[in-house]
């Protein structure tokens, strides 16, 4: 009976998990076209999760992210753009508007997800996991702004976190990607 109540409570809270997550593969998002995307489909790839925004001073990083994606995608690297409107109302558009902006302005070809919250009371479960300092002591902590980047290993574990001022061309970020791909 207690387990049934806990399962129901978890479902109502938006997560059917009774045990803590162990990797990003325990989560799913919606694509920018509103199709379910279980992150488990990324198993075996090196992943960079980036909370993005269209009206941010860091928005030009889309160009660098796209270049990084194109350079390494054939080696098993994928960037996942996750729009969020948590900081300065810098992502006010709809998913359709965001998709058009990214394609027209930056020719983005890496996967884009539907807009979520990456901070606050309505934080998406994936970002709750990514920022959890208990589960991820070296990379956890609140997202402070748009274009925070999480590098994920082929087995779904967080390898590194890069704050917004670290550009996709930064040698430390590129080196981390190359190291993860080896």
pLDDT digits (tens, 9 = 90+) for 98-136: 999 999 999 999 999 999 999 999 999 999 999 999 999
Q: What is the pLDDT of residues 9-20, one digit of tens each?
A: 343 344 444 446
Say what the pLDDT of residue 8 is. 38
Tens-place pLDDT, residues 123-175: 999 999 999 999 999 999 999 999 999 999 999 999 999 999 999 999 999 99
CATH number at residue 61: 3.40.30.10
User: Are β-strands 77-83 and 46-52 bridged in parallel, bridged antiparallel, or unpaired?
Assistant: parallel
Residue 141 lies in a domain: yes
Q: How far is CA 83 from CA 5, 10, 58, 76, 116, in A?
A: 34, 25, 13, 23, 6
| Terminal CA-CA length for the chain | 48
The pLDDT score that the predictor gives to residue 22 is 84
Dihedral angle sign, alpha carbons of residues 168, 145, 93, 129: positive
1 located within any domain: no
Predicted TM-score (pTM) of this structure: 0.89
Query: What is the tally of structural domains in the chain?
Result: 1
pLDDT of residue 55: 97
In a domain, 11, yes or no: no
Question: Is 63 domain-assigned?
Answer: yes
Alpha carbon distance 97, 93 (integer Å): 6
User: Burial of 128 by CB count in 10 Å (0-12 exposed, 13-18 middle, 19+ buried)?
Assistant: middle
In the three-class reduction of DSSP (H, G, I as helix; E, B as strand; rest coil), residue 72 is classed as helix
Given this model, what pLDDT does residue 91 score? 97
Write the pLDDT tens digit of every residue in 67-96. Answer: 999 999 999 999 999 999 999 999 999 999
The Cβ-side half-sphere exposure at 140, using a 13 Å CA radius, reads 10
Tokens of 86: 């948590």
pLDDT at 51 over 60: yes
Per the annotation, the verdict on 102 as an active-site residue is: no
Q: Which two tokens stand for residue 103?
A: 């394609």
Residue 129 lies in a domain: yes
**At 149, which helix (H) or strand (E)?**
strand 149-152
Q: Which of 25, 31, 56, 174 is an active site residue?
A: 56
Task: Give the burial class of 70: count Cβ atoms within 10 A of its Cβ; 0-12 exposed, 13-18 middle, 19 or more buried.
Answer: middle
What was the pLDDT predicted at 20? 67
Range of the domain at 125: 23-181
**Is the separation of the CB atoms in 121 and 155 below 8 Å?**
no
Q: How many residues does the chain have?
A: 182
Residue 10 lies in a domain: no
């Amino acid at each position: 009976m207690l387990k049934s109540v806990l399962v129901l409570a978890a479902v109502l809270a938006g997560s059917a998990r009774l045990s803590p997550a162990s990797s990003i593969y325990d989560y799913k998002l919606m694509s920018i076209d509103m199709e379910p995307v279980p992150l488990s489909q990324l198993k075996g790839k090196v992943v960079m999760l980036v909370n993005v925004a269209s009206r941010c001073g860091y928005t030009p990083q889309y160009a660098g992210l796209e270049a990084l994606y194109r350079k390494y995608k054939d080696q098993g690297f994928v960037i996942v753009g996750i729009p969020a409107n948590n900081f300065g109302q810098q992502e006010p558009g709809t998913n359709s508007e965001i998709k058009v902006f990214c394609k027209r302005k930056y020719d983005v070809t890496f996967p884009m997800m539907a807009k979520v919250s990456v901070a606050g009371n309505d934080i998406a479960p994936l970002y709750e996991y990514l920022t959890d300092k208990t589960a991820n002591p070296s990379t956890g902590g609140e997202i402070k702004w748009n274009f925070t980047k999480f590098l994920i290993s082929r087995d779904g574990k967080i390898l590194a976190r890069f704050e917004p001022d670290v550009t996709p061309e930064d040698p430390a970020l590129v080196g981390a990607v190359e190291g993860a791909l080896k």
